[in-house]
Each structure stands twice: as C-alpha cells, then as structure tokens.
C-alpha cells in the first residue's frame, strides 16, 4: 500500500497570487485528509523553502516572476522523490503539459476547472495516480493524435 494513502496529505502552494493561495488554504482546510502546509510566493530560495516545509503535494503555478519553474520542478523531483508536484495554472497547452510531466510533475490542474476537480486531482496524486484536468487531457491527446 502507498504510504500516501495512510495519512493526511500535506499540501503546499507555490503561487504569487495571494488571493488564489489564500482561498486554496481556506478550501483545503475544509477537506478531510488534506492539510495546508503553507504558501511560497516566489524568490530565489524557493527550492529551499519548499524542501524545508516538506509537503506531500506541491501545487505549483507555472508563471512565477523571476523563477524558472521547470528548473525548480526538475530539482524537486530529483532531490525529493516522495514529493508529488502538481502544476496549477490558468494556461493549459499540450507543450506545457508534456514539459511539466517530462520534468517530473504528477499532474497538471487547471485554474479554470471546478474546485472539486482540483481537490479530486490532489487526492488522485496522493493515491499515486496521474492528476490531469480535462483541458490537460484534451491538449495532450490532441498532440498525441497529431503525432501519430
């Protein structure tokens, strides 16, 4: 059995939009089995601060000013194998989804989706499944069907 399924999932959010992060904190606070760890809004020490918080799930915005988010994603994947990182963005395209997954993300959730779908995505990643929003699935599938 996956160790993630036995305890509350500790969720951290990387987002420079305080309104999004704060609302996510409140929403996750109401969910059984999910625990809010905190928010990292950006900065040069983003990697160190995430590692120090040691979350199970990281909700990562793709567009943080001054931060190459894919480098952070790759580094976290390589150095913190137990952390499951989900991209969380309003921008969803096949290339962004593929790049995120290749860099180690466990999923790609859309900020345009229903909030319940976002929560479901976090739980799926916790269970060891890929968590992709409808938009991300469609974008990925479209690229695959074009490539064949």
Partner 1 sequence: MSSRQKVNILLVDDQPAKLLSLETILAELEENTLRAESAEEALKFLLTHEIAVVLVDVCMPRVDGFELAELIRDHPRFQRTAIIFISAVHLTDADCLRGYSVGAVDYIPVPIIPEVLRAKVAVFAELYRKSNELERVNAELKQRVEELDQSNERLRFADRMATIGTLAAGLGHDMGNLLLPVRMRLDTIEACAGLPAPVKEDVGAIRKAAEYLQRLATSLGLLAMDADSEQPSEWGTDVAGWWKETEGMLRTGVSRTIQLRAEIEPALPPIGLGKAALTQIVFNLIQNASDALAGREDGRVTLNATTSEQPGKVLLRVTDNGPGMSDTVKHRCLEPFFTTKTRGLSTGMGLALVGSLVRRAKGTLRIETEQGKGTTFHLELPCAAAAEAERREPAKRHVAEVTLRDPRLRAHVSSVLEAMDYEIRQGSLGEARLWVTEASSHIEFDQACQFAAGQPARRAVVFGATLDYQDPDRRVLCLETSIKPSALRKRIQEVLSSH
Q: Which residues of 57-93 are buried (b: 16+ CB within 10 A; e: fewer)?
A: bbbbbbebeebebbebbbbbbeebeebbbbbbbeebb
Task: Provide the phi-psi class of 28: left if phi over 0, else alpha when psi is between -120 and 50, else beta.
Answer: alpha
The phi and psi torsions of 15 (rounded to 5 degrees) equal -160, 135
Nearer to partner 1, 37 or 86 (CB): 86
What are the backbone dihedrals phi and psi of residue 123, each rounded to the nearest 5 degrees, phi first? -65, -40
**Which is closer to partner 1, CB of 53 or CB of 77?**
77
The least CB distance from residue 101 to partner 1, in Å, is 4
Which of 43, 90 has the CB closer to partner 1? 90
In the complex, the smallest distance separating the C-beta of residue 76 from partner 1, rounded to whole angstroms, is 12
Residues found near partner 1 in the complex (CB under 8 A): 2, 17, 19-20, 22-24, 26-27, 29-30, 84, 90-91, 94, 98, 101-102, 104, 106, 111-112, 114-116, 128-130, 132, 137-138, 141-148
Output the smallest distance, CB 116 to partner 1, in A.
8
**What minimum distance in Å lies between the beta carbon of 36 and partner 1?**
12
Between CA 95 and CA 101, with CA 9 as vertex, the angle to 5 degrees is 15
């Amino acid at each position: 059995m996956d160790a993630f399924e036995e305890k509350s999932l500790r969720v951290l959010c990387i987002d420079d939009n305080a309104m999004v992060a704060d609302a996510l904190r409140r929403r996750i606070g109401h969910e059984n089995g999910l625990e809010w760890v905190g928010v990292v809004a950006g900065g040069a020490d983003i990697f160190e601060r995430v590692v120090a918080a040691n979350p199970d799930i990281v909700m990562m915005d793709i567009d943080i000013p001054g931060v190459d988010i894919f480098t952070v994603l790759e580094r976290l994947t390589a150095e913190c194998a137990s952390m499951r990182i989900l991209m969380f963005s309003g921008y969803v395209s096949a290339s962004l989804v593929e790049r995120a997954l290749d860099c180690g993300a466990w999923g790609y959730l859309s900020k345009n989706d229903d909030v319940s779908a976002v929560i479901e995505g976090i739980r799926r990643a916790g269970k060891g499944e890929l968590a992709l929003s409808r938009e991300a699935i469609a974008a990925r599938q479209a690229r695959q069907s074009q490539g064949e």
